[in-house]
Structure formats: structure tokens, C-alpha cells
Amino acid sequence: MKKKRILGAVLAASLAVAGAYVIYGRVTRGASAGPSAGRPSPGAPGAGAPMRNGAPVAVEVSPVENSPVRELGVFSGSLQPRSRFVLSTRVAGRLVRVNADVGDGVARGETVAVLDDKEYAAQYEQSRADLEVMQATLEDAGSSLETARRDLERARTLFEGKIASQTELDSAATALRKAETQHRVVQAQRKQKEAALETVKDRLEATRLVAEWEGGSEVRVVGERFADPGALLRANDPVVSILDIGALTATVNVTEAMYIRMRPGLPARAVTDAIPGAVFDGRVERVAPFLNETSRQAEVRIEIPNPQGRLKPGMFVRVTLEFGRREGAVTVPAAALIKRGEQEGVFRLADDGKTVSFIPVRTGITDSGRVEILEPPLSGRVVVLGHHLLQDGSAVFLPGSPGRGGGL
């Protein structure tokens, strides 16, 4: 009997607890369904999307301007000297002296290096003496020729006077022909000696390596040195390289789309990280007449004057070319452009400053952070910050404006 009473008490207590739990659940569910009723859950469609009729969105705007725009192309490349040649020996010999080292200036016509010339000087003196001997031989042959001519004239006169025989006349004529032949032979030998003397003289002069070039600046610079005094050099061995850095050439590669716009004389501006803040003006000098079949690019050479020598061959530069310019173009900041679906456009602020309208646009040149608007005609102010929250007709306000509702 006692056990039955205990079991009944436990059962009653359990029923009481279950009832209290049910009542608590109903109360908490009713409280949570109050102010939030009708709102989409965080994952529901439309959550976080711009609301056309919602609270005004804070935005920043910028005016539409009429300003000049330039169509620019930026390319990169390395600088090369306008001209470079290697001064080499024309004859073999021992290098005696080098008058200019790396970085030294060299004037046109200056002697840069000297070879030992003793052997060539001796050959020159020998050839000159041979020529003098041949000159004397020629003079002797000339005298013999004149004598033979006079003898022939005398024999002809005596023959006409029937004093000399035909045989004597023939002998005089034969002697003249021999004298003429001998004179021509000696003349040819003299020319040989003159040529030999010129050859030896040229070799003697070749022991002095002189810097000569056509056009360009009067002074160039030594770029490399390949031999030291005392070295025994062969013909055509390099001694120094000489560079013209009064103007440098930037070689850049351009794509097919840009290639058709390239032309000699196009103005250019170059900058390099090696000289921060410096801008160097130049122009397009040469445009390759073909595109590389593999890379589909063409080589363009841009000449950059370098009168102060600040730029050096091998520096990496970025070159900006100006293809065209339009004055008074309608422009907006690049940050104002936004895409809605497949359309690119801007949000224009209404004249009352309270709403915006989405206007699809067709853009043109981009220059220094501003974009040209070709169509449609545009004026007023456009949104540059906050437009990702906007739709056509959205309410907006400008931070700091009176009444928060928009006013200007």
C-alpha cells in the first residue's frame, strides 16, 4: 500500500514538470515572433540585396567634368646606346699604350691606343728607299728614250740624204722601240713601289688606333676595355668599345592592336626607377615593318635624348606614348563606373539630392583616373562610393548634408 502511494506521487510530479515545459515553449515562441515577423532569414533570397524603398543610403558623389583626355599607351624596355662599335687592331703587334679607359670620354679623331711600330717603321723606310731607286731608274730610262728618239731622227735625215743605209735606219727604229718598252716597264715598276710604300705606310699608321665615326656627337665614351699594355695582339683583336650615349634607344615590343597606331615621330615620355621623379622626353624613331609570327608583336625603337648623361645603357624604362588627345571631353571618375547585369553605367544624383538613377553609358578614353563618357550626354554629379548598395531610384543622402535626407 505504501509503495502505491509513492508511485502515485512520482507520477503526479512528472506530469506537472511536462506541463510547465509545454507552457514555457509556447511563451518563448510567441515572444520571438514579434518585431522580426516578415523579415527574410539570413539565407533567404533577397537577403542583403539593395532595397529600393528602404532607408536612404549614405553615398559620396563627384561632379561630371569637361576636361581634356589623352589616349596613352605604356610600354617597357631596356635602354641601348644609339651607336656602339669596337675599336680593333688592323695589324698585329704589341700593345704599348691605352690612352682611354672605361668611362672616359673620347673625341672624334683621338688616338685611343698605340702599338709598337718599330718593325713597320723600318719597312716604311725600306719601301721609300726602293721607290727612290726606282725613280732614278725611271729617269735613266727616260733619258735613254730621248736619246733613241734623237738617233732615229738623225738616221731618218741621213737616210733621206742617201748618207745612211736602210739597215742603219731600221736599227735606230728598233732601238727606239726597245727604249720605249724599257721606259714603260720602269714606269710600271715605279707604280708597284708606290703601292708597296702606301701599303707599308698604312700599316705604320695602323699602329695608332684612332676613334673615327660619322655623325652623332663629337664626344663618346669608352664602354669596355679588352686588352692591357704589353699584350701581343693579332689583327682584328678588340681593344676598346666606344658608345654614343648622347641619345639612347629604348626598344619595346608592341601588340598587333597597338602596332597599327605606331608611327615615327610620335612623342614619348620615359621614366626609370633608377632615377625617381625624373621624366625624359623622346620620340618614336623606328617601327619594324613586320610582326613576329610567333609572338605577334613588333619592335619599336624610341630615341631619348640624354645630353647630361643621366641615363645609362641597360637601364629598364617605362615609356608612355600619346596616341591622341580630345579637349573638353565629358569625364567621370573611374570609381563611378559600375555594372548592373550586362550594362556598364553610373548612378547620377538627382537635382534634389535625394535619389539616384542608373544611366547606362558608353565609355571612351581612360586618362589619369578619369573616364570619357561618349554616350549619352551627362551632367551633374555621380556616385563614386556606396553604389554597390544602390538600385535605380534608390533613396540616398550625403553625409554631412542638412537633414540627412539629401539636400546639397
Contacts of 339 (CB under 8 A, 6+ apart): 345
Neighbour tally for 214: CB within 10 Å: 6
DSSP string, 262-298: --TT-EEEEE-TTSTT--EEEEEEEE-SS--TTT-EE
pLDDT of 43: 35
pLDDT higher than threshold 60 for residue 10 = no
Q: Which tens digits make up the pLDDT trace of 280-303?
A: 999 999 999 999 988 899 999 999
pLDDT of 53: 52
What number of residues does the chain have?
A: 408
Choose the weakest-confidence range: 98-102, 233-237, 363-367: 363-367
Among 110, 111, 117, smallest CA distance to 95 is for: 117
d(CA 235, CA 85) in angstroms, rounded, equals 16
pLDDT higher than threshold 50 for residue 34 = no
Q: Which tens digits make up the pLDDT trace of 115-149?
A: 999 999 999 999 999 999 989 998 888 998 899 88
pTM above 0.75, yes or no: no
Averaged pLDDT, 325-340: 88
Beta bridge partners of 87: 240
Which of the 8 DSSP states describes residue 39?
Answer: P
Among 220, 250, 223, smallest CA distance to 79 is for: 250
Choose the weakest-confidence range: 17-31, 336-350, 371-385: 17-31
The answer to whether 269 and 281 have CB atoms below 8 angstroms apart is yes
- pLDDT range class, residue 54, cuts 50, 70, 90: low
pLDDT of 23: 34
Contacts of 324 (CB under 8 A, 6+ apart): 70, 71, 365
DSSP string, 85-96: EEEE-SS-EEEE
pLDDT of 162: 81
Averaged pLDDT, 361-380: 87
Averaged pLDDT, 102-127: 94
Q: Between 115 and 162, name the one with better pLDDT.
A: 115
The answer to whether 337 and 374 have CB atoms below 8 angstroms apart is no
Among 100, 79, 78, smallest CA distance to 220 is for: 100
- pLDDT range class, residue 35, cuts 50, 70, 90: very low
- pLDDT range class, residue 55, cuts 50, 70, 90: confident
The answer to whether 383 and 60 have CB atoms below 8 angstroms apart is yes
Among 51, 70, 67, smallest CA distance to 268 is for: 70
pLDDT of 26: 40
pLDDT higher than threshold 50 for residue 193 = yes
- pLDDT range class, residue 405, cuts 50, 70, 90: very low
Residue 66, C-alpha cell as written in the block: 569637361
Question: What value does the mean pLDDT of the chain take?
Answer: 83
Among 362, 292, 284, smallest CA distance to 323 is for: 284
Residue 115: how many CA atoms within 13 Å on its side-chain side? 28
d(CA 269, CA 278) in angstroms, rounded, equals 10
pLDDT of 367: 80
Secondary structure E strands in 34-159? 57-58, 60-63, 65-88, 93-98, 105-107, 111-115
Averaged pLDDT, 266-285: 93
Provide the residue type at 356 as one letter.
V
Averaged pLDDT, 46-52: 44
What is the share, in percent, of the chain residues with pLDDT greater than 90?
Answer: 50
